[in-house]
């Protein structure tokens, strides 16, 4: 009878070990993935011909600051405090020199001043290429 109890205890240990091993080597049970919080942010799928999508319509209404710069100069605070109505400030630009056109502070073109219906405007004479813009940013 003692042999029978010893045999049962040994079988139970082996059975427990085999069950543990089977659980460790079994493929993990797939847990459901949580639903994404933000839907698909990648945008529309690429066209079937493999070319990347060029749809930029969603950014066309974003406002930017366009500035035309007549010229610049550096003045000590003493001279700025002495400015009064009628004072003349000499700028680094020359008369007839093209004006810089900046978008959000980044140079994109140059042009000349024009007057249209008693309002100032600028006629673009030179557009800065994207490669030139990148080169100037890296300086």
Domains, the chain:
65-137 (2.30.330.10)
- Closest to 125 measured CA to CA, from 113, 137, 116: 113
131-137: average pLDDT: 79
pLDDT tens per residue across span 8-46: 444 577 667 777 776 766 566 566 666 666 555 555 555
Q: How far apart are CA 71 and CA 84, in angstroms?
A: 20
pLDDT tens per residue across span 82-106: 999 999 998 887 888 899 999 998 8
Q: Report yes or no on whether pTM surpasses 0.85.
A: no
Helix (H, G, I), strand (E, B) or coil at 10: helix
Contacts of 120 (CB under 8 A, 6+ apart): 113, 114
pLDDT tens per residue across span 41-76: 555 555 556 555 567 788 888 999 999 988 889 999
Q: Is 91 left (phi over 0), alpha (psi -120 to 50) or beta?
A: beta
What are the structure tokens assigned to 74, written together?
A: 């550096």
Edge to edge, the sheet with strand 106-116 lists 66-69, 99-103, 106-116, 119-127
- Asked if 72 contacts 92 with a C-beta cutoff of 8 angstroms, the reply is yes
Q: How far apart are CA 119 and CA 99, in angstroms?
A: 16
């Amino acid at each position: 009878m003692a042999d029978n109890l010893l045999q049962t205890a040994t079988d139970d240990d082996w059975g427990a070990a085999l069950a543990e091993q089977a659980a460790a080597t079994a493929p993990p049970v797939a847990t459901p993935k949580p639903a994404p919080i933000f839907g698909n942010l990648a945008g529309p799928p690429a066209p079937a011909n493999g070319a990347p999508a060029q749809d930029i319509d969603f950014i066309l209404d974003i406002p930017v600051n366009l500035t035309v710069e007549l010229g610049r100069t550096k003045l000590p605070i003493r001279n700025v405090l002495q400015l009064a109505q009628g004072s003349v400030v000499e700028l680094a630009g020359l008369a007839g020199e093209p004006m810089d056109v900046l978008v959000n502070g980044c140079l994109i073109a140059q042009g000349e001043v024009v007057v249209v219906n008693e309002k100032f405007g600028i006629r673009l004479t030179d557009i800065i290429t994207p490669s030139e813009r990148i080169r100037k940013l890296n300086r």
